[in-house]
Each structure stands twice: as structure tokens, then as C-alpha cells.
Amino acid sequence: MADEIKSSVENIKSIESDSVLSRSRRDYMFNTTMYIYQVFGLTVAIGSILYFLFDFYKLEISFRQQLILFTGASGLFFAVLAAAVVRYKKSRDDFEIQERLAAGYTLELIDAWNAFEEVAKQILTQDGEKFNRLSIRSVIDRLHREDILNNYDLSTIQEALEVRNIIVHGSVRIPAEKARQYTSKILNIVSKISNLRAKRF
């Protein structure tokens, strides 16, 4: 069951990753085009203002001076364009890094949850408790009634269950930091109840 869930999550992440990359490429092309339009518009505006000033004050400039102005405007165009592309590429790289982190932490959260289920069911089985093995909520409720989970741990594990369900069903993307935090919380509870089991048995 755990392998099936993990495989399902990996498939979901693979599909989402392809979708994210495709969307990122489209966004990149769109934003790059917009940057080009912005820089081109800025260059045209500056050129028009300069031409207006020359015409207004009846200034005469030689062909060489015109060439210098054109070269300067072209340099401005490419400098601003390069800066815009570099800035956007950095933001895109940061986004992709966060996506990879989220995918990694998501799988770690699923592994941590599987460990919790395994330890929890082992404790209840060794105690001789009757519970519905197919219902994790029944398992959690029994752990709480047996004082294996305190109120704080109960609240934490219920929240973690909701996050786990969101991940498995793929309805909402979980941020990397949130997945990391809940993975840590689940592992802390697993460690706590594992130590309790060692003392009791």
C-alpha cells in the first residue's frame, strides 16, 4: 500500500513537473517579449524626445553625430534588455529550485507518514487493541484514547493527515517549507511513540 501511494505521488509530481516546466517556458517567452517591447518603447521614446528637442531648438547635427546618438540609443536598448532578461532568468531559476525542493520534501513527508502508520499500528496490535486497520483516523483516535498521543500531538497529526491527503490527491500544491515542517513534526511523533513502545515492550 505504501509503495502504491509513493508511486502515485511520484507520478503526480512527474506530471506536475512537466506542466510546470511547460508553463514556465510559455511564461518565459511571454515575459521576454514584453521586456523587448518595453525596452524598444523606451528607446523610441528617448529618441523621439531628443529629436523633438533638436527640432524645437533648431539644432543641426552632422551625420557623424547622428550615428553617435544612434549607437548610444542602441547600447541603451541592449543594456536594459540584457538586465531585464538576467533578472527574469534569476526569478525563474529561484522558482524552479523551490519546485524541486517542494517535490523532495513532499516525498519525505509521505515516507514519514508511512512510518507513522506502521509504528502506530504495531503499537495497537501489540497492545491487543481492536481497531480498524484500514481507517487511519480510527488508528489516530485509538492512540489518543490510549494516551499514546497527547492533545498537542493529536492536533499535529490530524493537520499532517490533511496535508498528506492534499499531496496524495494532488488537489493543491504544498509549499516546500510547509512540507518540510510537517515532515519534521511527523518524525518527532514517530520517534516519541517508538520510544514509548520500547519502554512498554
Where along the chain do its domains lie?
2-200
Q: Tell me if the pTM is above 0.75.
A: no
Counting every residue, how long is the chain? Answer: 201
pLDDT of residue 96: 77
Q: How much is the mean pLDDT over the chain?
A: 75
99-155 per-position pLDDT tens digit:
777 777 788 888 999 999 998 888 888 767 666 777 888 889 988 888 889 999 999
